[in-house]
Structure 1
């Protein structure tokens, strides 16, 4: 009897039956060992390429837009979803943080500010020492400022630049390095949050997720408000600072928030953090959550504009050429 051979629809290659990445036999559309997708020759056509490209952008945009919506509309929701393992529908925490980082540095070109990208001499901003409860840190702060001054003098001698030239050169480098160094704020803030919630967060990584989400919110709100203040010259916080610092309640405001700059940050941070903690820990007494939120926000402010800002100045001086 004559044998009949059926011609395959398309050339069969090893990669159709075995994973090209780890050589494991496929059992379905994806490799169970490494997650590589099984492919066919048709996957390399222009039509497929364009379809995959379009799908990638729409898929990412959908994730980011959905995540941004919940980031602002439901504080703490994204962290809660991550903690319970529901992650496919949302952008990853670090992705959101990096998106906020990019937005921040784009807006920085239109609204120059040195709160997160310090200029030379900003080490004299000594909020860390001015706050009444932290007066004991004044000697440490003074020593750090003196050391920065010493490093700056050494840079003058080495570069032979004029004060204005060195200041301009420093600011350019500060903006470059701060794009990477902002990432240091995630473990810094995550550590503070974890210390206050060590019995509630099962893993330290949960506090890092929370920190990434909060800092994404913080950078975006800071960027947008800076655009209004420095680019469009609209003092959006002036009504609040007037009400709390130029009326009879000023003494209370000064005791709780020291000055308008700290107050504006607390105005953005405390309500957001309080709602986020309530969503994550609904069983906690509200008064306890409020007090905890106040101290977390205060500590993070001083670490950001005291410790981190001075650290960034030092790192920039050491690394700039």
Structure 2
């Protein structure tokens, strides 16, 4: 039978030239369409669960499999990240990447970057009061803090490229590793929020969270990310124990600097482009 897509005359169940499935006139039925949709959903669902299991419990395996060319059993890096980012957006109203305008105007390290002067100039230029601008800024920050998380991927890829320059891996390989790692980081923050932060605030209130809970979660987070990266570096970059431990600790500690840099980027984006 001739392939309907490329015209190859030797099509069997699937065309050997383009991969198109053999045409069946009965495929244009509601029953067949429902069966095909269910098959597609089930396949995607299995791939997602398999990818989720690997990224949570087998650090470094997914990027190692991807760069080795074994990709069919898992979701692609960017697609998986975008799906996790969507879940992160839907299930969290506040996150570590979001800060209100008050924090930028009153606390270090933000004020050292001239945040007060920038806001004053913007208010004078547009004849607006701080009370009028604050709620619009906070709304934009809450939205943008999740929408631009993809920018964390090249930032971390650059960090990994510098730390493992002797491994002679290409920047794309570092980018693949960073994509799966940032997806894990969002998953971890989401689980940390739902399983630790929410119950803690329910038991001890907002004041208890500010006094003790926030620092506890930050400590647990940094330690957990360091352990995860240690295992991931060992598997993906195949580095020794000592170097993996040092780079994992350094990478975990750079999270604070990267988060501050990300917040400042959003601050200037919102202040300078808002109308």
With the length of structure 2 as denominator, give the TM-score of the two structures.
0.83
Instruction: Give the superposition deviation at 1:199.
Output: 2.8
Tell me, yes or no, if structure 1 residue 223 matches structure 2 residue 167: no
Residue number in structure 2 paired with 1:271: 227
Larger radius of gyration: 1
Instruction: Give the superposition deviation at 1:36.
Output: 4.8
Tell me, yes or no, if structure 1 residue 152 matches structure 2 residue 128: no
Residue number in structure 2 paired with 1:170: 137
Residue number in structure 2 paired with 1:32: 17
SS at 2:181's partner residue?
Answer: helix
With the length of structure 1 as denominator, give the TM-score of the two structures.
0.72
Instruction: Give the superposition deviation at 1:195.
Output: 1.3
- Structure 1 residues 32 and 316: CA distance shift in structure 2, 3 A: farther
Could you tell me how far apart the structure 1 residues matched to 2:117 and 2:97 are? 22
- Higher-helix-fraction structure: 2
Tell me, yes or no, if structure 1 residue 196 matches structure 2 residue 163: yes
Could you tell me how far apart the structure 2 residues matched to 1:270 and 1:235 are? 29
Contact 1:194 1:207 in 2 (8 A): yes
Residue number in structure 2 paired with 1:248: none
**Larger relative contact order, structure 1 or 2 (CA cutoff 8 Å, min sep 6):** 1
Instruction: Give the superposition deviation at 1:64.
Output: 0.6
Contact 1:189 1:300 in 2 (8 A): no
Residue number in structure 2 paired with 1:65: 49
CA offset digits 1:9-65 (Å, max 9, x no partner): xxx9xxx5342xxx55365324735x5545333222111211111111111110010
Residue number in structure 2 paired with 1:298: 253
- Structure 1 residues 70 and 26: CA distance shift in structure 2, 3 A: farther
Q: Which runs of 5 or more residues in structure 2 are unaligned?
A: none
Residue number in structure 1 paired with 2:178: 211
Tell me, yes or no, if structure 1 residue 17 matches structure 2 residue 12: no
Instruction: Give the superposition deviation at 1:125.
Output: 5.0
**Counterpart pick for 1:318 among 255, 272, 275:** 272
SS at 1:199's partner residue?
Answer: helix
Instruction: Give the superposition deviation at 1:108.
Output: 1.8
Could you tell me how far apart the structure 1 residues matched to 2:165 and 2:174 are? 9
Could you tell me how far apart the structure 1 residues matched to 2:166 and 2:234 are? 15
Residue number in structure 1 paired with 2:83: 99
Q: Which runs of 5 or more residues in structure 1 are unaligned?
A: 1-11, 129-140, 243-258
**Runs of 4+ with >6 A deviation:** none
Instruction: Give the superposition deviation at 1:268.
Output: 2.2
- Structure 1 residues 201 and 46: CA distance shift in structure 2, 3 A: farther
Instruction: Give the superposition deviation at 1:159.
Output: 5.4
Question: 1:212-291 counterparts in 2 under 5 A?
Answer: 212-232=179-199, 233=201, 263-282=219-238, 284-291=239-246
- Structure 1 residues 100 and 125: CA distance shift in structure 2, 3 A: farther
Contact 2:161 2:174 in 1 (8 A): yes
Could you tell me how far apart the structure 1 residues matched to 2:157 and 2:85 are? 17
- Structure 1 residues 228 and 285: CA distance shift in structure 2, 3 A: closer
Could you tell me how far apart the structure 1 residues matched to 2:118 and 2:21 are? 54
Quick check: 261-270 or 169-178, which moved more? 261-270
